[in-house]
Amino acid sequence: MVTQRANHKWGMVVDLDKCTGCQACVVACQAENNIPINVKSFYQQRRAYQWIRIERYWEGEFPNVKARFIPILCQHCENAPCEPVCPVFATYHNDEGMNVQVYNRCIGTRYCSVNCPYTVRMFNYWEPQWPNRLRNQLNPDVTIRTRGIMEKCTFCVQRLRRGEVNVERRGLEPLTGERIPVGDRNLDSKRMKEGNYMPACVQSCPTNALMFADQHDDTSPVKEIFEEANEQIETRHHGGHVDEEHTRVYRLFEEIGTKPNVIYLKKVDAFPLEKA
Amino acid sequence: MAATEPKGHGQHAGLWVFPDVSVMSREVTEKTKSSPRPLTMALVVTGILFVLGIVGFIARAADDGFNDISAWGYYLSVFSMVFMVTSGAPLAAVAFRFTKSHWRRPLSRVSELFAIAGILNILLFIPLMFLLPSIGNPDAVGGLIEGELAVRRTIWFEAPIGSPHAWDLVGVAGLVVTALFILWLSAMPDMAESRHTATGFRRTLYSKLSGNWYGTKKQWNAQKAGLALLGAFYFMTLIFMQFVISSDYAQSLIPGWKDSIFPVIYTITSLHMGLGAVLVTLFILRRFGGYDGYIGKSTFWSASKVMLGITLLWIYHLFAFFITFWYGRLEVEQNIIKYLITDTYAIIFLLNLAFSFVLPFAVLIWNPVRRSDWGPALAGGLLIVGGIMFNIRIFVGSANAAPGSDIYAYFFEHVPSPVYPDIWDVFMVIGGLAAAAFVYLLATRLLPVLSLWEVKEGALYQKWGKLHRGEYLILGKPE
Amino acid sequence: MQEGTPLQSRQINRELLVSILNSPKWFFGTISVLGIGVLIAMSTAGFMINQGFGVTGLNRPVMWGFFITNFVFWIGISHAGVMLSAILRLSKAEWRRPATRAAEILTVFSLMTAMTMPLIHTGRPWRTVYWIYTLPFVPYDYARGIWPNIRTPLVWDPSAVYTYLTSSILFVLVALIPDFAVLRDRTTGMSHRIYGMLAMGWQGNPRQWKLQIIAGVLLSALILPVFVSVHSIVSWDFGMAVSVKSWHSTIFAPYFVVGAVHSGVSAVAFVLIILRYIYSWQNYIRHEHIDALARLLIVVATGWFYFFVMEVVFGFYGREADEIAVRDYQFMVSPWNIWMMIFVGVTYFAPVAIWLSRSARRNLWIMSLACILVNIGMWLERFLIIVPGLARKQLLTFDWYTYTPSAVEWIIIIGTFFLVTMLMVIVARVVPLIPLYDIKEGEILRTEIKVGRVTVPATFRED
Amino acid sequence: MAKAPILGLFETADNAADAGDALKAAGVSSADYDFLTDAPYPEGAFGEREEPHRLYIFPFVGALIGLTCGIMLTSMTQMAYPLVQGGKPILSLPPMAVVTYESTMLTAIVFTIIGIIFESRLPSFKQGLYDTRITEGYIGVLVNVEEDQLTQTQTLLTQAGAVDVVRNQGA
């Protein structure tokens, strides 16, 4: 007997104030999603596979400079520019607010990557290879992508699916394993944390700069952040004015109208650079 | 009266007229001098409407002053209507003279005479100089706003002295003057021909303007070269001025509207209105003016093909604009589509679409209709209405998109509701159009509406000839 | 506009069928050289497909490069044919007669060549069947119930290009029927039978001729909208991309179409000059034809320049930092600024300066130089639109990069030029590249008008 | 009494036209003789009969068929595979317009081609009486007459200036 899934809308919040640019998320993603080893030449040819990457920007002039870090991953846009341009329906928007990629359909026109403002879509220029000693670390839940197709961040959909099966369908508490009454078999953020049903990057972030949860889940920390962001859009639509000083919430390239499901929180700079 | 044509083979009978040049000059000058009753009636009516328009203008000025452009949307649009017609119409003469088409000969003077009505453009434009908000953001002066918001988005990037207002006026004036020069140069032989027979003010006018034209070979060559050069120059100036007007008074008033195809659409609409006006005038002359001996249906037929072409061009460019804005999900683009097409001005847009594309296309696609004289004229009338709708939609929309200082906002973030005309606006729109008609009617009394020398020249190169058993038209192509 | 001497139809047959009835010595040599070039390109493509796209110069921001550029270029060349034959037929220009056939055939072959580009540029070409068979009426992968995603320009493309290809092939074949009849009467044996089949028992009675003439005009009128739509849709491949600032411009459709006509007509002029040279068709491809083409080209080029200026002006108009970044990269950063200068120079200023002088228009060497310049420029135009736009896609400067094509790409690109040339040379052996009956009609209809002492060339017109 | 074809070849168009007049005078109905040329002479150059045709129907029919097919294909495929893409409606009209337009034009053109071939009575592989000299500039006058009148038709054609007269073997 399979119970009906709750309808989810996943979202991520990146707190730039906490991000130290330690690249733990990048490594975790690499390990979780069977991403090929990025050898030196890949970086030289600008073909490195990084479903999530830390972009580093310098602020100010030497000697007084500051490094700024921003982790960039697939923004899982509501109005994703990459989706409608695929001739073979290889990428589309599923009902959980995720932008999914169907590897078997992809024929590699690379139009989606061209049309992605965040350049987070990777193309497999070569057949992926692992040294033999790493064969056994491949994640059995994730397909290995062949050459010639696009791939990108999936919000670790395989982990979410496991969570759905365990909690919502089989109804087991992630930690204790006792049965949950049919009434509240929902994948709230507590259970997600307990069962690690969250993207590898979020799980591995040492400063909790990354938060991932269901936007419909009242207990989730991201809920009010998303609500705040949506309110801002509403006010601007009705000719109102948003005070940029008193809000940290923003989305990448908001004016493109992609409505990402990833929200960034501005850095609060305690010691700003004195303007030279 | 004109000689009747021999019966050709097939369905082409009745297409060509071969004017009897011996009596043409006398007849046409007679017609120019005479003032039949319907004409005087039309003059009176248009004159009254003209006055109404002036009244409307004064009232509007008294009500709102010249500070806020959002009250003047309809005035903006009526200026653009007159500008489109009077600047687009002479292009018909210029372009088809350029392609050496014989059928254009009866048409050219009719279209050139619009240059006189074009003088209105300058008068109508002067108030607009005061209406257009400045490029530099007045709030930015106090250093309150820096960077992108310090200036409006315009084509005058760094805002040189007096731009855009003064330069626009210079451009409009230059365009009008060029058109008048073309008219003068092309009318010179005709004026010279009748400068001695004419009487009254016409005599003095003709003899003044025709100078010492005696039709020597040298003079003819000079005239042809001059017409070609002026024509090319006029064409360039026209394209440029329409680009300037359309982006200064429409595009740059809607914050964040970045639409590189809009000037092209504007120019095409202007061609619609110009060619439409020319064909309607030709039809009236042929049917009621007694010029049927000189204006053959072939003129309508050939013009109708061009018209069909520009009708398709219009919808093509409109779709190119629409699909590009629709496909992207940019907020500002979605809002502009909502504002100008789907929500606010939806009805006007539908009318515009119907009159600029659907109906004319449905009329012109039938070969027999194109061969008639009423068909193309009807399509021309429809295109004029479509152009009027276009101007109302675009200019009223632009003037009211961001009233006050929002005009310096960076994005067009919320969609305002439509603005309906009040009585003064109606007065101004009708009055403006009537003014153009009024001036044009006066102009037809001033100069012959038929370019005599061109028709005579054409008579040399077109005749009927036999090939074996059939009889066909022979067209000569002089180098 | 008719110079030259009147021609007998015997003479016309003899001179225009020279390329078919007696085989020139250079033929097989040329074919083999070209064929080897094509083979090299094909094997290179095979190598690329076998190895993966790593062998190209593409990278993450710049996912489209030479192949797409070349695709757009050949589509552009293909616009010559219908542009010339349709517009000139409709406007009943006398000087169209020798130009139409060659132009239409060039259309067909450049279209075919263009379509190979998107095929080999996909990551998994062996699966492109799922994409290409999205013609109207041919839904693909029916079994799994997956249907074409008609929302993407990449599906508008095939539908438009195949419509264009089908209709121009049919157009050429229908116009060829009378000439096939001529060949049927001149040949023997196998070729006689084949030409007989193709001529479909053409007799040349008034009814057939009347319909042939109507067909020319009607089909032109029908194909003209298709030809406009094709390049518009190709341009929308770029115009629909919101994320690349310099691409998302409303003017792209007309801008690309005019540019295509510009390069295409120049290409046709060049082909005509070559034909005149190798088959010594001085009586048919006369100086006034090239002259007329050049004068047409002045107008086209100026129109193109207008759209180009519009595109650039409104690029800066937005004052958006990301757009400015692209424009700055295009116009300021070396080597792109040098390419940009070369492109504008050889696409507009140099050729138009040449075409403005009558003597240069009538000098075939200078004309062919100008035409080649235009096509180099138009190739550069597409390149300078596509690559800088991608290299400076958005303001994530961390991801900005550039693009340098690899040898593989160069070889395949050059191979396409070999391919088109080879196809043209082969087809010149089997069908007349100048429509015989069109020339003969011109001879029948030509006459003169006497005005005073001078006689003006004139033509009989049915309407 | 069957009709038999006879073909007279003329050097000049005027002679051919004379032959046409002569045949008309001799009471041969205009449906029974035809002028075979190697180039399109303007309509009526030989005073021949009008040729009615219904070619203009074909493109319209084709366009209608293509329009319906295009609309059905585009709309039904979108409905049949309802995946949300880029926040666009499942049934998005502007893309439909593009593909529908192409299919309309394609069918219109294909139908026109069919119409041309059909209306000009091609292919007709069992070609009647014909002479290869026609494509050399000679003008053929092809007459269908009762077999007993063949000889006088031949003389008539020769008087009109035929350089040669061809008849079926065995007639």
Task: Write out pLDDT tens, residues A78-133.
Answer: 999 999 999 888 999 998 889 999 998 888 999 999 999 999 999 999 999 899 99
For residue D85, list chain A residues with Cβ-Cβ distance below 8 A: 80, 83-84, 86, 89, 91-93
pLDDT one-digit tens code per residue, B379-397: 999 999 999 999 999 999 9
Would the pLDDT of D87 be above 90? no
- What is the per-residue pLDDT for B152? 80
Kindly state the average pLDDT of the residues A20-33: 94
Cβ-nearest to B328 among C248, C253, C448? C248
- Interface touch D44/B10, C-beta < 8 Å: yes
Q: What phi-psi label fits residue A48: left (phi over 0), alpha (psi between -120 and 50 degrees) or beta?
A: beta
Contact assessment for residue D153 and residue D171, using Cβ atoms and an 8 Å cutoff: no
- Interface touch B329/A257, C-beta < 8 Å: yes
Would the pLDDT of B4 be above 70? no
User: Following DSSP, what letter does each residue of B356-422 receive, concatenated?
Assistant: IIIHHHHHHTSHHHHHSSHHHHHHHHHHHHHHHHHHIIIIIHHHHHS-GGGGG-SS--S-PPP----
pLDDT one-digit tens code per residue, B225-264: 999 999 999 999 999 999 999 999 999 899 889 999 999 9
Q: Which of D137, D141, D128 is nearest to D26 (CA)?
A: D141
pTM of the model: 0.94
- What is the per-residue pLDDT for A76? 94
- What is the per-residue pLDDT for C39? 97
pLDDT one-digit tens code per residue, D128-147: 788 888 888 888 998 888 88
For residue B468, list chain D residues with Cβ-Cβ distance below 8 A: 13-14, 17, 41, 45-47
Kindly state the average pLDDT of the residues B308-335: 93
Q: Does D103 touch chain C (CB under 8 A)?
A: yes
pLDDT bracket for residue A232 (50, 70, 90): confident
SS3 B253: helix
Contact assessment for residue C250 and residue B261, using Cβ atoms and an 8 Å cutoff: yes
- Interface touch A45/C63, C-beta < 8 Å: no
- Interface touch B472/D42, C-beta < 8 Å: yes
Which chain C residue has the Cα nearest residue B479?
C1
Would the pLDDT of D123 be above 60? yes
pLDDT one-digit tens code per residue, B327-365: 988 888 999 999 999 999 999 999 999 999 999 999 999
- What is the per-residue pLDDT for D127? 66
For residue B331, list chain A residues with Cβ-Cβ distance below 8 A: 255, 257
Question: Which of B287-296, B406-415, B443-452, C158-167 has the least mean pLDDT?
Answer: B406-415
Contact assessment for residue A168 and residue A3, using Cβ atoms and an 8 Å cutoff: yes
- What is the per-residue pLDDT for B443? 94
- What is the per-residue pLDDT for C6? 64
For the record, the structure tokens of B221 come out as 């060559």
Q: Does B68 touch chain A (CB under 8 A)?
A: no
- What is the per-residue pLDDT for A2? 52
The conformation of residue A143, written as its DSSP 8-state character, comes to P
Alpha carbon dihedral D147, D149, D150, D152, in 10-degree steps, equals: 170
Q: Does D20 touch chain B (CB under 8 A)?
A: yes
- Interface touch C229/D124, C-beta < 8 Å: no
- What is the per-residue pLDDT for C65? 92
Q: Which of C334, C335, C340, C329 is nearest to C397 (CA)?
A: C329
Cβ-nearest to A253 among C63, C241, C394? C394
- Interface touch D83/A82, C-beta < 8 Å: no
Q: Is the CA virtual torsion C432, C438, C443, C449 positive or negative?
A: negative
Question: Which of A163-167, B423-427, D50-54 has the least mean pLDDT?
Answer: D50-54
Would the pLDDT of A5 be above 60? yes
Q: Which of B453, B440, B452, B437 is nearest to B30 (CA)?
A: B452
- Interface touch D137/C462, C-beta < 8 Å: no
Would the pLDDT of C251 be above 70? yes
Cβ-nearest to A114 among C53, C54, C64? C64
For residue C307, list chain B residues with Cβ-Cβ distance below 8 A: 264
Question: Which of A194-198, B19-23, C379-383 has the least mean pLDDT?
Answer: B19-23
D81 CA: distance to closest CA in chain A (Å): 9
Would the pLDDT of C2 be above 90? no
pLDDT one-digit tens code per residue, C306-343: 999 999 999 988 888 888 899 999 999 988 999 999 99
Cα separation of B349 and C57, whole Å?
48
Kindly state the average pLDDT of the residues C216-235: 92
Portion 199-238 of C in contact with B at CB < 8 A: 225, 228, 232, 236
In this structure, what are the phi and psi dihedrals at residue B447, rounded to the nearest 5 degrees? -125, 155
Would the pLDDT of D15 be above 90? no
Which chain A residue has the Cα nearest residue D81?
A89
Q: Which of B331, B185, C152 is nearest to A115 (CA)?
A: C152
String of b and e for B165-177 (b: at least 16 CB within 10 Å)?
beebbebbeebbe
Would the pLDDT of B458 be above 80? yes
pLDDT one-digit tens code per residue, D34-64: 899 988 988 888 877 777 888 889 999 999 9
- What is the per-residue pLDDT for B11? 43
Cβ-nearest to D39 among C149, C159, C444? C444
What distance, in Å, lies between the first and last C-alpha atoms of chain A?
68
In this structure, what are the phi and psi dihedrals at residue B231, rounded to the nearest 5 degrees? -60, -50
Q: Which of B324, B465, B459, B366 is nearest to B8 (CA)?
A: B465
User: Tokens 């042809």 appear where?
Assistant: B224
- What is the per-residue pLDDT for C1? 38
Contact assessment for residue B90 and residue B115, using Cβ atoms and an 8 Å cutoff: yes
Q: Does A21 touch chain C (CB under 8 A)?
A: no
In this structure, what are the phi and psi dihedrals at residue C34, rounded to the nearest 5 degrees? -60, -45
Cα separation of C83 and C297, whole Å?
12
Contacts of A233 (CB under 8 A, 6+ apart): none
What distance, in Å, lies between the first and last C-alpha atoms of chain B?
31
Contact assessment for residue C159 and residue C185, using Cβ atoms and an 8 Å cutoff: no
**What ipTM score was computed for the predicted complex, to two decimals?**
0.93
User: Following DSSP, what letter does each residue of D128-165 receive, concatenated?
Assistant: -S--GGGGGT-EEEEEEEEGGGHHHHHHHHHHTTEEEE
- Interface touch D88/C211, C-beta < 8 Å: no
Contact assessment for residue D151 and residue D8, using Cβ atoms and an 8 Å cutoff: no
For residue D50, list chain B residues with Cβ-Cβ distance below 8 A: 10
C90 CA: distance to closest CA in chain B (Å): 9
By residue count, chain D amounts to 171
Q: Does C459 touch chain B (CB under 8 A)?
A: yes
Distances (CA, A) of B230 to A231, B90, B182, B184, C301: 59, 12, 6, 11, 20
Kindly state the average pLDDT of the residues C88-102: 86
- What is the per-residue pLDDT for C44? 96
Q: Does B413 touch chain A (CB under 8 A)?
A: yes
Cα separation of C57 and C68, whole Å?
13
Kindly state the average pLDDT of the residues C273-282: 91
CA angle at C190 for the pair C185 and C196, rounded to the nearest 5°: 40
Cα separation of C376 and A148, whole Å?
31
| Rg of chain A (C-alpha set) | 20
Burial class of residue B193 (count of CB atoms within 10 Å of its CB; 0-12, 13-18, 19+)? buried
For residue D86, list chain B residues with Cβ-Cβ distance below 8 A: 329
pLDDT bracket for residue D159 (50, 70, 90): confident
- Helix ranges (H only) for chain D are 13-25, 57-80, 93-119, 150-159
